[in-house]
Amino acid sequence: MTQFKNLINGEWVAGERCAINVNPSDASDVIGEFAQASAAQTQDAIAAARSAFPAWSQSTPQQRFDLLDQVGTAILARKGELGKLLAREEGKTLAEAIGEVGRAGQIFKFFAGEALRIGGEIVPSVRPGLTVEITREPIGVVGLITPWNFPIAIPAWKIAPALAHGNCVVIKPAELVPGSVWELANVIADAGAPPGVINLVMGRGSIVGETLVQSADVDAISFTGSVATGQAIAAKCVATNKKFQLEMGGKNPMVVLDDADLDVAVDACINGSFYSTGQRCTASSRLIVTAGIHDRFVETMQARMRRLKVGNALDPSTQIGPVVDATQLAQDERYIDIARSEGGSVFGGQRLMAATDGFFLAPALVTETTPAMTINRDEVFGPVASVIKVADYEEALAIANDSRFGLSAGICTTSLKFASHFKRHAQVGMVMINAATAGVDYHVPFGGRKGSSYGPREQGSHAREFYTAVKTTYIAPGSA
Ligand code: NDP
């Protein structure tokens, strides 16, 4: 079996133990044996990043551009191969997985450009003669902790800005999907990143993640994952005086008004709720539908759902791949059972058998729900959406905002008045008009409000808010 090691100070290092990575579409397909780092090895990776920081933080924008641009080119050239690996380890369909790899490549290209765009400001002082300069500097060693649902895009959108802005990185991917990040780290090392600039430590959150978060030598943590883990990390970052950024869950509403184009609305909801097996933090999980279109909407959704092909992620005809693992499958089924027991009517949601032994689940649509039901409060993180029938736009908006989360929200309508009002009043970080709540661009800010996010936005030029420290310098006359 192929063995994959950790990358520490430019060397591939065996772990304290190993874990196997198994394809959720096919239990007989083992992707490889991945090293699991100990706490001491994680400390070694942090020390390597710390040693590499003085030189890397002084590297020229051209050096950083060249590295990131080369990484982007290499990823894009291997899109098909890396996409297949991603589909095998996470269960996205091959088309979705190749799309995600392509996005990772574009992210590196974008942040290559950002390395050249680091500027500053010069402003006159309010005091006579003085000049004030506002500049940005790298923050130091950055610990990156990533979830399983975007095995290469999320690591890419954290690593690329970290390196572009002159920081050194220690990344810990989710245990379920180490393969894509291993390939990414390999590409970055091959492209000539100096030893210690990028370190990969695979293994458990409770050991590797915890060591990163507790270390006095880590200056900042960027985390994406669940609310519970994020909040625990936040408390520890405050205690150890670290900068931190959290992207957590969502319970994203999609409002469908009477005046919506039904086909547009159903397309957006099928995509937003069920593609990528609903395992997207931006998935549309609450479909809030006005009474005049409700019955036609539900009927058309169900007709479309009957035709969705669930199966092995590598089969080109598959539209929805498997759930990521047995634990997540049990969670999806538990929430479907709770929805039923609280009075919801469930369409779909049954286990499916296929030619291979995988975690296949038919997409589920829960109708006859009320906003207070568990299915409308908790994030399921699977191919499960609920429908809430409302009287009008005002009720829809109130329900859309009635959530502890605030990541993404959508509205399907042909009315500019309602679309504009929703854009301004949805309490979220991202609004989609006549488009699915999931599926975002790589060159603009990503993030949410309320319980979904904490700290500066990720992606686009806004990423510099997290990955740099601002310095204000006062220069007296005659200093030159
Ligand atoms: P988890 O919070 O369980 O894990 C996220 C990462 O944190 C993993 O790498 C995990 O390691 C690590 N971790 C676990 N415990 C600790 C700890 N004590 N200290 C430090 N690190 C730790 O989330 P999942 O991976 O299960 O991802 C699914 C969740 O992520 C969903 O709730 C989803 O909504 C959210 N998410 C949010 C996104 C957003 O941008 N808003 C995007 C994607 C997902 P391990 O490998 O051991 O699990």
- Amino acid occupying residue 310: V
137 belongs to the catalytic site: no
Q: Whose CA is nearest to atom 16 of ligand 1?
A: 205
Atom of ligand 1 nearest to the CA of 147: 25
What average pLDDT does the segment 7-17 reach?
97
**What separation in Å is there between the alpha carbon of 229 and the centre of ligand 1?**
6
- Amino acid occupying residue 122: I
Reply yes or no on whether the pLDDT at 330 is more than 70: yes
Show the 3-state SS of the chain: CCEECEEECCEEECCCEEEEEEECCEEEEEEEEEEECCHHHHHHHHHHHHHHHHHHHCCCHHHHHHHHHHHHHHHHHCHHHHHHHHHHHHCCCHHHHHHHHHHHHHHHHHHHHHHHCCCCEEEECCCCCCEEEEEEEECCEEEEECCCCCCCHHHHHHHHHHHHCCCEEEEECCCCCHHHHHHHHHHHHHCCCCCCCEEECCCCHHHHHHHHHHCCCCCEEEEECCHHHHHHHHHHHHHCCCEEEEECCCCEEEEECCCCCHHHHHHHHHHHHHHHHHCCCCCEEEEEEEHHHHHHHHHHHHHHHHHCCECCCCCCCCCECCCCCHHHHHHHHHHHHHHHHCCCEEEECCECCCCCCCCCECCEEEECCCCCCHHHCCCCCCCEEEEEEECCHHHHHHHHHCCCEECEEEEECCCHHHHHHHHHHCCCCEEEECCCCCCCCCCCCECCEECCEECCCECCHHHHHHHEEEEEEEECCCCC
Work out the widest C-alpha separation in the chain, in whole angstroms.
79
pTM attached to this predicted model: 0.97
- Amino acid occupying residue 418: F
Q: Output the CA torsion 330→335→338→340 (10° steps).
A: -100
Q: Whose CA is nearest to atom 13 of ligand 1?
A: 205
Reply yes or no on whether the pLDDT at 349 is more than 70: yes
Q: Dump pLDDT digits (tens) for 163-182.
A: 999 999 999 999 999 999 99
Q: Dump pLDDT digits (tens) for 19-39.
A: 999 999 999 999 999 999 999
pLDDT at 477 (0 to 100): 85
Q: Dump pLDDT digits (tens) for 373-408.
A: 999 999 999 999 999 999 999 999 999 999 999 999
- Amino acid occupying residue 453: S
**What separation in Å is there between the alpha carbon of 356 and the centre of ligand 1?**
28
The residue to mutate among 226, 237, 457, having the most atoms of ligand 1 within 8 angstroms of its beta carbon, is 226
Residues lining ligand 1, CB < 6 A?
145-149, 172, 174-175, 204-206, 209-210, 213, 224-226, 229, 232-233, 247-249, 281, 379, 381, 407, 452
Out of 96, 247, 333, 458, the active site residue is 247
Please give the mean pLDDT across all residues of the chain: 97
**What separation in Å is there between the alpha carbon of 121 and the centre of ligand 1?**
37
Reply yes or no on whether the pLDDT at 2 is more than 90: no
- Phi, psi at residue 11, to the nearest 5°? -115, 145
Q: Dump pLDDT digits (tens) for 183-238.
A: 999 999 999 999 999 999 999 999 999 999 999 999 999 999 999 999 999 999 99
pLDDT at 37 (0 to 100): 98
Distance CA 385, CA 344 (A): 11
Atom of ligand 1 nearest to the CA of 236: 19
Distance CA 439, CA 272 (A): 8
Q: Are 407 and 376 in contact (CB under 8 A)?
A: no
Which residues are CB-contacts of 25 (< 8 A; sequence separation ≥ 6)? 87, 88, 91, 311, 312, 313, 314, 321, 322, 354, 356, 358
Q: Beta strand 17-23 with 26-36: parallel, antiparallel or unpaired? A: antiparallel
Atom of ligand 1 nearest to the CA of 150: 43
Reply yes or no on whether the pLDDT at 480 is more than 80: no
Domains of the chain with bracketed CATH:
3-248+452-475 (3.40.605.10), 252-433 (3.40.309.10)
Q: Beta strand 453-454 with 243-247: parallel, antiparallel or unpaired? A: antiparallel
- Six-digit token pair at 107? 């992210």
- Six-digit token pair at 320? 């929805």
Reply yes or no on whether the pLDDT at 148 is more than 70: yes
Which of 147, 365, 167 shows the shortest CA–CA distance to 273? 365
- Six-digit token pair at 237? 């970052």
Which of 242, 327, 324, 206 shows the shortest CA–CA distance to 276? 324
Distance CA 359, CA 351 (A): 8
Q: Output the CA torsion 56→62→68→71 (10° steps).
A: -110
Residue with tokens 């990163």, as numbered in its chain: 212
The residue to mutate among 229, 282, 381, 440, having the most atoms of ligand 1 within 8 angstroms of its beta carbon, is 229
Query: What are the strands of the beta sheet with 26-36, ordered from one edge?
Result: 3-4, 26-36, 17-23
